[in-house]
Amino acid sequence: MRIRKVIIILGIAVVSVSWLFMSGFEFSWQKEPVHIPAFTKTPSPKTSPASGKTTIQFNVPFSPQAPFGEWADSRQQDGCEEASTIMAMHWVKGDMSLTAEEAKSEILAISAWEQEKYGSYHDTSAKDTAKRIFGEYYNHKNTRVEGGITADDIIKELEDGNLVVVPADGRALGNPHFTQPGPERHMLVIIGYDYSKNEFITNDPGTKFGKSYKYDKDILFNAIRDYPTGDHVPITSRSKNMIVVEK
C-alpha cells in the first residue's frame, strides 16, 4: 500500500512539472531570455513621385552674367535677368551650346534693346522679366509668373518638366563666390532638385562657379524676394514669386 502511494505521488509530480513547462512558466533559476533586436530596414532616399528618381536635373547651358569677368560694365553687373533668360531660352530651343562670346553678345544686345524701348537695362522684376525679355525680346509666350509660392511649388514645376527662374536677395544666399556681401537684387535659374540632400540645383549667373550650383532648399527659398523694376529701386516687400518656363 505504501509503495502504491509513493508511485501515485511521483506520477502527480511529473504531470504537474510537465504542465508548468507547457504553460510557459519560467523557474527563477533559469537564465534571463536573450532579446534579439528586430531587424530595421534602412530607409531609402526620398524620390520624385513623378519619375522615381532621387534627383531631377535638366541639361541647361551655363554662362555667368559677366562671361569674361568684366564686372565693371554695369550692363553685365546688372545682367542676371538677361543671363538667366538666355540660359532658359537656349534650353527651350534645345540649343546646348553657349560660348562666352555668344553669352556676352546676347546680354549686351538685350540691354541695348531694353535701354531703347524702356529707358533702362537695370533690374527687372519677375513680371517684367517674363513680359519684356521672354515675351517681347524672344517672343516666347510659354511662361507664367506665380506669386505667393512655396518651396514645394518649385519642386512640383520641376517634376512637371519646367524650368523655374527666381528673383532673390543674393546676400541671403550666402554664396562664398559672390563679392561679399552679395547683390541685393539677383536672379537665377533653378534646373533641378536633389531629394536625398534637400538641395535645389541651379545655374547661378552671379559667379563663374555657378553651373549646377546647389543651394540648401530652405536657404534658397528663404532668399527668394522679388524686387521692383528700375535702377536699384528700394525694396519694400518680400514677395515670393517665380517665373515658370515651359517649352
Residue 2 falls inside a structural domain: no
pTM equals 0.81
Percentage, residues of the chain above pLDDT 70:
79
Inform me whether the pLDDT recorded for 27 exceeds 60: no
Residue 231 falls inside a structural domain: yes
- CB-CB neighbours of 208 under 10 Å: 16
- CATH number of the domain that residue 154 is part of: 3.90.70.10
Question: Distance between the two ends of the chain, CA-based, in angstroms?
Answer: 105
Confidence of residue 53 (pLDDT cuts 50, 70, 90): confident
Average pLDDT across the chain, whole number = 87
Residue 195 falls inside a structural domain: yes
Residue 46 falls inside a structural domain: no
pLDDT at 89: 98
Domain with 208, as residue range(s), is 55-245
Residue 7 falls inside a structural domain: no
Residue 127, phi-psi category: left (phi > 0), alpha (psi -120 to 50), beta (remainder): alpha
Give the number of domains in the chain. Answer: 1
Sign of CA dihedral 97, 71, 145, 215: positive
Could you tell me where the DSSP H helices lie in 160-212? 170-173
Confidence of residue 48 (pLDDT cuts 50, 70, 90): low
Q: For residues 112 and 75, what is the distance between their CA atoms, to the nearest angstrom?
A: 9
Residue 23 falls inside a structural domain: no
